[in-house]
Amino acid sequence: MDKDLEALSARVGQALLERKLFLACAESCTGGWVAEAVTAIGGSSQWFERGYVTYSNAAKQELLGVKADTLRREGAVSEAVAREMAAGALQRSHAQAALAISGVAGPTGGSPDKPVGTVCFAWVLRNGAPTAETKRFSGDREAVRRQSVMHALRGLLERLPESGN
């Protein structure tokens, strides 16, 4: 793992540990890279609860409870689906924080509305409403996926409550 991702993963772990929170993640285009990055940090069992790799629409529905209507109406790469993924990961785990990623990593699969590099993110804390955003990343498949992992972890850090609350 590269040093930037390792340092960010360690920061996320420390922040979760200080707040006594566990993380669950729901990943599509990143294929479990968030889970791999955070579990590469020693002691992660104290703050990482579980990860879901839900690459297919069926997996999103079966494992996370994403609604078929949402997938049909918005498409898998949408903020609505990312919000439902994050909420489902939280609901189906013992975690207090969850993040979700769904996107088009390429090199194929893009469309005029959702070109390669389009990635949707969502974050949710227990007893809160999911927040979501869409980013467009450049580069090859690996670059899009890596940037997605970094953005998801940074977004989680930004949304965590102040330590001690």
Instruction: Return d(Cα 58, Cα 71) in angstroms, integer.
Output: 10
| The pLDDT value given to residue 141 | 97
pLDDT-based confidence at residue 164 (cuts at 50, 70, 90) = low
Q: What is the mean pLDDT of residues 114-142?
A: 97
Q: Tens digit of pLDDT for each residue in 15-42?
A: 999 999 999 999 999 999 999 999 999 9
Give the per-residue pLDDT at 49.
Answer: 98
- Check if the beta carbon of residue 41 is closer than 8 Å to that of residue 10: yes
Q: What is the pLDDT of residue 18?
A: 97
Predicted confidence at residue 162, as pLDDT, reads: 85
| pLDDT tens digits, one per residue of 131-153 | 999 999 999 999 999 999 999 99
Q: What pTM value is reported for the model?
A: 0.97
pLDDT band for position 1 (cuts 50, 70, 90): confident
In 20-115, which ranges are continuous DSSP H helix? 33-39, 57-64, 68-74, 79-91
* Count of other CB atoms within 10 angstroms of residue 58: 12
Contact assessment for residue 120 and residue 136, using Cβ atoms and an 8 Å cutoff:
no
Burial 91-104 (b: 16+ CB within 10 A, else e): ebbebbbbbbbbbb
C-alpha to C-alpha distances, 124 to 116, 141, 143, nearest whole angstrom: 26, 26, 25
Rounded Cα gap, residues 76 and 147, in angstroms: 19
- Nearest 5°: CA angle at 57, between 84 and 12? 50
Model pLDDT, residue 134 = 98
Q: Indicate if the pLDDT at residue 163 is higher than 80.
A: no
For the residues 74-97, what does the mean pLDDT come to?
98
Q: What is the CATH number of domain 3-159?
A: 3.90.950.20
| Cα dist from 55 to 61, 79, 94, whole Å | 11, 16, 22
Domain boundaries, the chain: 3-159
